[in-house]
Structure 1
């Protein structure tokens, strides 16, 4: 049996009359929607004063007026003072309970930023990581191949000051050779869109003898590849990269079916021999049209005697070719070379600024491409005071890229 309350009706009315007026004429559904909207905008709990006051009043009634539970008239008088439907109170209580659960879930997610599935995954033991941020790397790496061919084209800059090696990935096809895919995709290159000079397809007929591994290049009589030293150098670079990309042993040159191509300063050339073998160059940043987007990383200048000489050169701009230094002046480094293992160790000096950002990522790529040019296969970066730069895990040796300046062809 419920004990009779020692409070009389007048005392209860006096007590309730001292409480704040809590009348709220809004539709319960509107109140609920407002709570949801505010929850989405703010992570902390947003209290609605009318709702809190209503719930407080209800709880106070049940504490102070237990005698009202037996159905006497005092209960009806007390409930009349709330001016709030009981169904709205129940819905608001449910809403706040749901809000607490959702807020706790959000707080748990903030405390544990990575789940086991979301944690960056090391794809190899050679320093390449797959990360959740946008990949700003410029080159093609071993893990990018996935049953694809890498095709590299030497494309001149708009001023024909240098050749920019641009690499694309194409799927292997059973009925097409690598040479056929190379020549077929010449027409798909977007040189001008990339900020370079429109150069391909070549103004020549190309035929390849797979048995002898010899390429024949037959240019028309009115070809322009021998008009000036700059165009001759670009043509030389184009054929050199073709030999490397397609693993060609020899190139025969014809003009309208007749042996030899007239190349100005070099005279009539019947068999192509590269002006100089690719390799042993410093790599710089080239930003087409002075843009600040992802740079091309370009080999430039004369062949160098050592990789330390290359790294020193990479700290200086090459104004004539509009190339930007790829190693900042505030970075100092020392090298330890292991030619037998084809491994290069780079120790950064104290005070060198190594950040997990795009500029540092591109500097590391320039270092890797230069190391590849000097016949190294892996690079270990030490004393970086940081574990990760973009896709590179600096705790491990990093494999050099397969090719420079990855660009996509239209689908």
Structure 2
């Protein structure tokens, strides 16, 4: 190491010009105070090097003044002050973070909203909000009118049946309410394709149970096989079979509609949709599924339930029953319109079985049953359903409530 060019006298004079620092505490007292502070609040690991560096610089200045010139001493002194200031700032920020953490913990402790529980917190084992049923049940109606709209998903491979609850404005027929409500549907918000209102004039003849559909000459419903198939499917599945048996088409008052591959179509017979299996369709970004029937019909409910164990990848549909249901299902029987599903002793339904249960109930309804009962089911309840009781079936799938021109919950 290079020897300093300053004489001892010069160094002494320089040190005399430095600010005077005194500390009347003994080394033992200083150490004891530091120990107490360390016990009260542990510094985070990333802060220790800053403090240690500051202390090292200060000790270096005090113990080795003769090893460097005055300019280096001044520079190190500035660094020491900067390091000490940084340590002070970081300790202050840590204290604020700790206060914020306490505040968040208090909010979670006293909040009744389960959403306040952070995903990775230790409170996760506490009661969490359960999934809610997606279908419409008799107790949901309470003065509402029930309408169904088959709405295509963005790829138009399937039509999702949406059961809409809406209040009458006063004196409308079901068909007038159907026309009014289709203008307020929020398909894109629901993760579906923007399809309604139809680009057509509609009228209903109650005596013959017919709907007349008149389209403009520039309509797009026949531009491609997917478009025309979706058009016919959506009309057939949106109009209730109990009220409508046939659809008549015209184009600007002239009989018939031109549908690409099919040619000129004058009418469409409505068929009662029965004996279908129900699957899950998940719109992008949605955690809960829509429960959707596929087109195929089956002879027995057992066949339909068997199909519901499998994905329908070509349609973008997911299995609505968990794989374990294949092994746990012992038998199916029915008595007085109640479908009895007997499970194996000791079997336990998964925690996310609620929507699978709804898919079973909707499938049972599609086969003409009026209720479902699960035997040997554990746990005793799924969501709001008491599995020890006979379960009445839904009115329809995929509930949406519209008040005026807004969906409830907006």
Distance 1:225 1:304 in 2: 30
Shift, 1:171, TM fit: 1.3
Change in Cα spacing, 1:268 to 1:136, as seen in structure 2 (3 Å) is: same
Correspondence for 2:189 among 170, 188, 193? 193
Correspondence for 1:400 among 390, 393, 407? 393
Distance 1:217 1:223 in 2: 12
Distance 1:169 1:271 in 2: 29
CA contact (8 A) 1:178 1:246 kept: no
Task: Verify: 1:303 aligned to 2:297, yes or no.
Answer: yes
Correspondence for 1:328 among 318, 322, 344? 322
CA contact (8 A) 1:139 1:402 kept: yes
Distance 1:254 1:302 in 2: 30
Distance 1:248 1:372 in 2: 20
Distance 1:241 1:320 in 2: 21
Shift, 1:343, TM fit: 2.0
CA contact (8 A) 1:318 1:325 kept: yes
Distance 1:267 1:404 in 2: 34
Corresponding pairs, count: 275
Shift, 1:345, TM fit: 0.8
**Residue number in structure 1 paired with 2:288:** 294
Change in Cα spacing, 1:390 to 1:342, as seen in structure 2 (3 Å) is: same
Distance 1:191 1:245 in 2: 23
Change in Cα spacing, 1:349 to 1:230, as seen in structure 2 (3 Å) is: farther
Shift, 1:277, TM fit: 4.0
Distance 1:229 1:349 in 2: 47
Distance 1:155 1:133 in 2: 29
CA contact (8 A) 1:240 1:278 kept: no
**Residue number in structure 2 paired with 1:5:** none
Shift, 1:238, TM fit: 1.6
Task: Verify: 1:224 aligned to 2:220, yes or no.
Answer: yes
Distance 1:214 1:305 in 2: 30
CA contact (8 A) 2:150 2:161 kept: yes
Normalised TM-score (structure 1): 0.63
Shift, 1:209, TM fit: 2.3
CA contact (8 A) 1:165 1:298 kept: yes
User: What is the alpha-carbon root mean square deviation over aligned residues?
Assistant: 2.1
Shift, 1:349, TM fit: 2.6
Shift, 1:179, TM fit: 1.0
- Structure 2 gap ranges (5+): 1-127
**Residue number in structure 2 paired with 1:373:** 366
Correspondence for 1:354 among 349, 357, 364? 349
Normalised TM-score (structure 2): 0.63
